[in-house]
Structures are given as structure tokens and as C-alpha cells.
């Protein structure tokens, strides 16, 4: 009976939890937008762009601001209010946005 494996696969897919909406704007991103732009592209050069930044870098930076090991009074105040889940969500969101950041190829200097 060849239908049994297919039926089992379909039942497994139906039982799997639905995937969350792809990269919804986190509620806490509204606070970030004041300096880093609504789209993660900072409107002023004194603020860094977040769009396109490596998510693990954003996560580490926010944890360091929260812990006080990275010094910036504005960012420390913002990060203190973030939970670990908030930090992961913000890092994932900004890491998946298209932005002006690029990683040049070390051999040619061209963007990847």
C-alpha cells in the first residue's frame, strides 16, 4: 500500500504548528525607530543603520547595553527594558530587513 507513507506525511504536516508571520514588526521596534528609522535605516548619520545588520551582532550589542558592559546611556536605558525574547525578536527582525549594509568580498571588494 503506497498511499500509507504519503498519508502519514500529510498528517504530520497538518499536525505541525503554523509558522508565525514572516518577520512581523516587533512591538518594541517602535522605540528603536525614533533614532534608527522606521525601516531600520537611520535618518541621521550619528545613528547606526540596523537594517541588514547581522542579527547575532544586534543581539550581542543589546545584551551588552543591558548588562552595562557596552557604554551608551541612551541605549542602556532602552535595553534595560528588553527581555531576552525581545532582544532575539528585534535582532531577527532587523537582520532580515534589506539595508545599506553590505559585506564586501575580501578578494574583489565587491558586495556579495
Residue 53 counted as domain residue: yes
pTM (two decimals): 0.70
Instruction: Please give the pLDDT value at position 93.
Output: 95
Residue 30 lies in a domain: yes
- pLDDT score at 60: 97
37 pLDDT more than 90: yes
The answer to the question of residue 34 being in a domain is yes
Instruction: Specify the CATH number for the domain of residue 34.
Output: 1.10.760.10
Give the residue ranges of DSSP H helices in the chain: 3-15, 29-36, 55-67, 73-80, 84-96
Kindly list the distances between the CA atom of residue 49 and the CA atoms of 28, 58, 60, 98, 100, in Å, as whole numbers in the listed order: 17, 11, 16, 11, 8
Neighbours of 30 (CB within 10 A): 10
Which CA distances in Å does 53 have to 9, 70, 92, 93?
37, 18, 10, 10
Please count the residues of the chain: 112
Q: Is 57 a member of any domain? A: yes
Mean pLDDT, to the nearest integer, of 73-99? 95
How many domains in the chain? 1
pLDDT at position 57 is 95
**Confidence at 109, pLDDT banded by 50, 70, 90:** low
**pLDDT for position 49:** 94
In a domain, 67, yes or no: yes
Domain-embedded: residue 47: yes
111 within a domain of the structure (yes/no): no
For residues 82-109, give the mean pLDDT. 86
Taking each helix axis from N to C end, the angle separating 29-36 and 84-96, rounded to the nearest 10 degrees, works out to 50
**Domain presence at residue 58:** yes
Domain that holds residue 79: 25-96
Amino acid at each position: 500500500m503506497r498511499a500509507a507513507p504519503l498519508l502519514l506525511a500529510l498528517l504530520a504536516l497538518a499536525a505541525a504548528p503554523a509558522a508565525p508571520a514572516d518577520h512581523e514588526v516587533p512591538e518594541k521596534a517602535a522605540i528603536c525607530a525614533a533614532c534608527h528609522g522606521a525601516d531600520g535605516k537611520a535618518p541621521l548619520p550619528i545613528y547606526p543603520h540596523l537594517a541588514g545588520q547581522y542579527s547575532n551582532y544586534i543581539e550581542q550589542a543589546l545584551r551588552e547595553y543591558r548588562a552595562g558592559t557596552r557604554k551608551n546611556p541612551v541605549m542602556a536605558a532602552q535595553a534595560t527594558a528588553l527581555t531576552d525574547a525581545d532582544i532575539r525578536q528585534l535582532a531577527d527582525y532587523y537582520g532580515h530587513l534589506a539595508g545599506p549594509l553590505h559585506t564586501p568580498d575580501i578578494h574583489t571588494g565587491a558586495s556579495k
